[in-house]
Amino acid sequence: MGDVGTGGSVATFSVWDYVVFAGVIVVSASIGLFQSFRGRKESTSAEFLLGGRRMTAVPVAMSLTASFMSGISVIGTPAEAYLYGTTYWLFGFSYAIMSAISAEIFVPLFYRLAITSAYEYLELRFSRPIRILGTTMYIAQTALYTGLVIYAPALALNQITGLHLWGVLVATGVVCIIYCTLGGLKAVIWTDVLQLVIMLAGFVIVIARGAVIKGGLTQVWEDAWEGGRLHAFDFDPDPLRRHTFWTVVVGGSIMWLSIYSINQSQVQRYISCKTLGHAKMSLYVNMCGLLVTVSLAMLSGLTMYSIYKNCDPISNGDVGTSDQLLPYLVMDILEIYPGVPGLFVAAAYSGTLSTVSSSINALVAVTVEDFLAPVCKNLTAKQVTWMNMGLSVFFGAVCIGMAGVASAMGSVLQAALSIFGMISGPLLGLYLLGMLFRTSNSIGALSGLITGLALTLWVGIGSQLYPPTTEKTLPLPLSTAGCNRTMDPSYTTVTPWTTPEADFRPALADTWYSLSYLYFAPFGTLVTITCGLLVSMITGGCKQRHHNPDLFVKKGDLLCFRYCNKSQVTDFKEKPPKDISMGADNLAFTDKDVTDKDAEKCTRL
């Protein structure tokens, strides 16, 4: 290998790297086995899908963080900083906004209803066909997203180990199937905790080694400044610009809200908490975890730019895509430490295992609750357990298959977020339509959902076929002046991840199809709500007077009202949820986390 940061081939895995990597995978699978043996006397559907509703805030929060800070984030976020700068860091504001809204509005609603599937709410509020449509949209979205998650680290392993790409894809799915099938949600959550620690350790190792090579973090920061990577606050209101303050904070907040507030993978975690307080706290602790993770990922990207500022591996032909940049860096700077590259790959792989196992568990939950439970009502507990395990295997195989589709979607980070924007945006609009507007009816809800989904798919698929030009994405300049070898000495810049521009671009390509991918979710949400309200009013929605108040957002749900609202104390006692037995130890169902004494104290204040 040549000097660090000057291009050329890098070393591949050593024996110790394989040992460390394999050790992490074995430990992850062992957690599933441990939870299986530990819970063999409590083999019920509630135990498998919701951990018996006895989880606490911290492990759930770490699981929430790990679920969507996946291998995509480990690989894609540093590449984002390397190519586009630190505007992505502004997602810290989005995480804060999302966490507050999810914790204070959505968590109390789902917790009060004691549901297992988030889409059960759609039937309670509107109709069963809308519930089925919502569940189907979620399954399609999650399967494609999970395929993308599997593909990302497989690409990394292929780059730095030489392992066959599809061999890695299948191995990923098999490991997830094993511990997800055996251990259920508890195995998923506790494995997530381990995998999050490994992910963060991987980032820290890269940053520390890069700082040593460059003579300190100060030099890394100075190089990033000179390369234009620190100009994060761009207040251009143009909605066609890929990343600005407004697209990230406004569009990003709604996009992440659509992920954390109604996505089954996330809802299933916080409703597994033993109290409403733990459920809310899990989201706030998760916010801190997201901030730490994105900060370490950004610093890893800046470190990578500082090392390769004079020899871009993409332009030099050392890597094929931007998603291979960080694995290339790891082998370039850490090969002298046997086992450390293996730890980094384990970090990326851990993120994938976390997300895939979460997705499989959530897919099983919605399939059982929304499709099979109404039909198969006389199954024994043992039959339900076998059905859950069989579905885990089935969805694991589906997700592996979808990895092939995901391989054609370009940058893994943007592709993943685009998928959520296109599908979760209209779904979020549907939930808000039901939670906030009593006049909305099932006809309006269905019309709004279909319209919002059609329009977001139109713009989203169009943007994949005709990617925005560099004038809108604004990749920052990269150089090959310091490389030992180059493909073309005069070529000093590169357009990252985007496919070559087609010879023919339709009129909408530079307007409609160039809409920032972060605006897909707010656009779908707004269209769904607007259309839903209009159709509801036309079809007599305003005449509807009788609604179950538990289906709407209540003032007492908010933290600022809850402890000073005496009527909230008896809310759950008077109207217990439909299935007390599933969560009898869950304090939200008895409301013991607010006592009469506390309410009287608040009243006096």
Q: Which CATH number fits the domain that encloses residue 279?
A: 1.20.1730.10
CA 388 centroid distance within chain: 23
| pLDDT value for 180 | 60
Q: Cβ(292)–Cβ(604) under 8 Å?
A: no
Domain contains 34: yes
Domain contains 435: no
| pLDDT value for 589 | 38
Domain count, the chain: 2
> What residue type is 178 in one-letter code?
I
> Higher confidence at residue 48 or residue 355?
355
Q: Which of 388-392, 436-440, 513-517, 569-573 has the lowest mean pLDDT?
A: 569-573
Dihedral of CA 589/590/594/596: which sign?
A: positive
What is the rounded CA–CA span in Å between residue 559 and residue 110?
16
Residue 280 has which token pair?
A: 């809310």
Query: How many other β-carbons are positioned within 10 Å of the β-carbon of residue 377?
Result: 7
| pLDDT value for 351 | 62
Give the residue from 589, 593, 592, 585 showing the smallest Cα distance to 115: 589
pLDDT at 116 over 80: no
Which of the listed residues 409, 431, 446 is the one where a domain comes to its end? 409
| pLDDT value for 110 | 87
Residue 574 belongs to what domain range? 554-605
What is the rounded CA–CA span in Å between residue 17 and residue 147?
26
Domain contains 558: yes
What tens digit of pLDDT does each residue of 301-333 get? 999 999 998 888 888 888 877 878 888 888 888
pLDDT at 571 over 60: no
184: left (phi over 0), alpha (psi -120 to 50) or beta: left
DSSP bridge pairs for 55: 273
> Higher confidence at residue 118 or residue 94?
94
pLDDT at 250 over 50: yes
Query: How many other β-carbons are positioned within 10 Å of the β-carbon of residue 263?
Result: 24
Give the residue from 259, 305, 205 showing the smallest Cα distance to 91: 259
Phi, psi (degrees; rounded to nearest 5) at 193 = -60, -50
What tens digit of pLDDT does each residue of 398-421 get? 877 777 666 655 556 667 777 778
What tens digit of pLDDT does each residue of 504-545 get? 677 787 888 889 989 999 999 999 999 999 999 998 875 655
Give the residue from 441, 447, 536 showing the smallest Cα distance to 127: 441
pLDDT over 70 for what percent of the chain?
71
Domain contains 60: yes
What is the rounded CA–CA span in Å between residue 228 and residue 237?
20
> What residue type is 122 in one-letter code?
L
Q: How confident is the model at residue 574 (pLDDT cuts 50, 70, 90)?
A: very low
501: left (phi over 0), alpha (psi -120 to 50) or beta: beta
**Mean pLDDT on 259-275:** 81
Domain contains 365: yes
> Higher confidence at residue 215 or residue 157?
215
Residue 576 has which token pair?
A: 């217990």
Domain contains 466: no
> What residue type is 163 in one-letter code?
L
Which of the listed residues 409, 439, 469 is the one where a domain comes to its end? 409
What is the rounded CA–CA span in Å between residue 223 and residue 303?
9
| pLDDT value for 488 | 45
What is the rounded CA–CA span in Å between residue 95 and residue 285?
11
SS3 273: strand
What is the rounded CA–CA span in Å between residue 472 and residue 340?
38
Residue 415 has which token pair?
A: 């592709």
> Higher confidence at residue 328 or residue 586?
328
Cα angle value 223/226/230 (rounded, 5°)? 85
Q: Any alpha helices (H) in 369-485, and if so which ranges?
A: 381-406, 412-436, 442-465, 470-473
**Mean pLDDT on 156-184:** 66
pTM of the model: 0.80
Q: Cβ(428)–Cβ(525) under 8 Å?
A: yes
| pLDDT value for 561 | 58
| pLDDT value for 573 | 35
What is the rounded CA–CA span in Å between residue 385 and residue 261?
28
For residue 501, the 8-state DSSP code is P
Residue 90 has which token pair?
A: 């502004």
> What residue type is 16 in one-letter code?
W
Domain contains 590: yes
pLDDT at 431 over 90: yes
Dihedral of CA 459/462/464/468: which sign?
A: negative
What is the rounded CA–CA span in Å between residue 276 and residue 591?
9
3-state helix, strand, coil in the chain (%, to 5): 70, 0, 25
Q: How confident is the model at residue 219 (pLDDT cuts 50, 70, 90)?
A: very high
| pLDDT value for 593 | 41
pLDDT at 564 over 60: no
* Residue 58 C-beta-side C-alpha neighbours within 13 Å: 1
Q: Pick from 49-63, 162-176, 536-550 the range whose average pLDDT is largest.
A: 536-550
SS3 535: helix
Which of the listed residues 373, 390, 409 is the one where a domain comes to its end? 409
What is the rounded CA–CA span in Å between residue 546 and residue 530?
22
**Mean pLDDT on 40-63:** 58
Q: Cβ(435)–Cβ(551) under 8 Å?
A: yes
DSSP bridge pairs for 273: 55
Domain contains 593: yes
Q: Which of 34-43, 97-106, 184-193, 275-284 has the lowest mean pLDDT?
A: 34-43
| pLDDT value for 450 | 95
Phi, psi (degrees; rounded to nearest 5) at 183 = -105, -15
Dihedral of CA 544/549/550/556: which sign?
A: positive
